[in-house]
Amino acid sequence: MKKLKLKNGNTMIIRKANKFDAKAILEYIDTVSGESVFLTFGQGEFDKTIEQEENFIDNISKKDNALFIIAEVDGKIVGNLNFSGGARPRIAHTGEFGISVLKEYWGQSIGTELIKYLIEWCKQSGVIRKINLRVRSDNYSAIHVYEKLGFSKEGIITRDFLINGRFYDSICMGLNID
């Protein structure tokens, strides 16, 4: 667990999710899915049951190459980050993550701190040697955060999103863990 002061003076806690968080996480995801066009799902499209979410969190906590963390302010989930490494030995050292923060909390370093936590955790994991991510090419604030934390652009995936009849490219970015 990590305790930090936000720019506005609020205290934020970053901690690993556990299965008792499942319901609150699903409620959180339902909210953020309606707030951002940059996620891989829109409102109502993340249709997991509480039980499925509990199992998902449980499975992650059993792995040495996966991490699911949440950021909380006053006991409320305001951000999350989910990283998963490969399932087979040749790809177990590398994984991809997704991240989101509640819109009313954007710009207070919560995203930056969640990724810093991931990087530290990867360094200590003894397993992870590379962090990958995919970001929509017009998601400038996210790209800014990733570059600030040392991620480099590695390639472009064209037509990665199709939203309301329009294609969007993604940029692949990566950070080596040495």
Nearer Cβ to ligand COA (17/101)? 101
Does residue 108 interact with ligand COA by CB under 6 A?
A: yes
List, in sequence order, the alpha helices (H) in 69-175.
110-125, 140-148
The DSSP 8-state label assigned to residue 8 in this structure reads: T
Element (H, E) at 132: strand 130-136
Distance CA 64, CA 164 (A): 39
Roughly how many angstroms between the first and final C-alpha of the chain, as a whole number?
A: 23
Does residue 39 interact with ligand COA by CB under 6 A?
A: yes
Among 49, 144, 147, 157, binds ligand COA (CB under 6 A): 144
The helix/strand/coil state of 22 is helix
Q: Closest distance between ligand COA and the C-beta of residue 108, in Å?
A: 5
Does residue 121 interact with ligand COA by CB under 6 A?
A: no
Q: Are 118 and 69 in contact (CB under 8 A)?
A: yes
Does residue 23 interact with ligand COA by CB under 6 A?
A: no
Does residue 42 interact with ligand COA by CB under 6 A?
A: no
Nearer Cβ to ligand COA (140/167)? 140
Which residue in this structure is represented by tokens 């970015």?
Answer: 173
Which residue in this structure is represented by tokens 């590379």?
Answer: 130
Does residue 106 interact with ligand COA by CB under 6 A?
A: yes
Contact region for ligand COA (CB under 6 A) — 9-17, 34-42, 45-53, 118-126?
34-42
Binding residues (CB under 6 A) for ligand COA: these are 36, 38-39, 99-101, 106-112, 135, 139-142, 144-145, 148
